[in-house]
Amino acid sequence: GSLAIDDAGFPAGALTASITKPVGLVNFLGDIGALDRDEVDAAIAAFGLMAVAGNGVISTPIEFANGEARIGEITIARLGRVG
């Protein structure tokens, strides 16, 4: 993928990530407060199904826009301005 800096100074674009053991990532996002308990439960179910379909690996784009990094509809990070 590729990233650039948008007019507001935030990273913009997309990168493809391969994620193994997605449950660990989802629990981490819950631990840091990026997801609430209901979102964690829903994400574990969804990512679990995706991982089964992908032989234990999820390949997905991480999208960067408007100061956030997202996998689908899930914000995984709030980003600072660059520069």
pLDDT, tens digit only, all 83 positions of the chain: 999 999 999 999 999 989 888 888 889 989 998 889 999 999 899 888 888 888 888 888 999 999 999 988 888 889 999 97
Give the pLDDT score at 62.
Answer: 94
What pLDDT is recorded for position 67? 96
Q: What is the pLDDT of residue 8?
A: 95
Cα–Cα dist 78/48, whole Å: 24
CB 25 within 8 A of CB 74: no
* CA distance to 22, 23, 45, 56, per residue, from 51 (Å): 7, 10, 10, 4
CA proximity to 47, closest of 76, 67, 68:
76
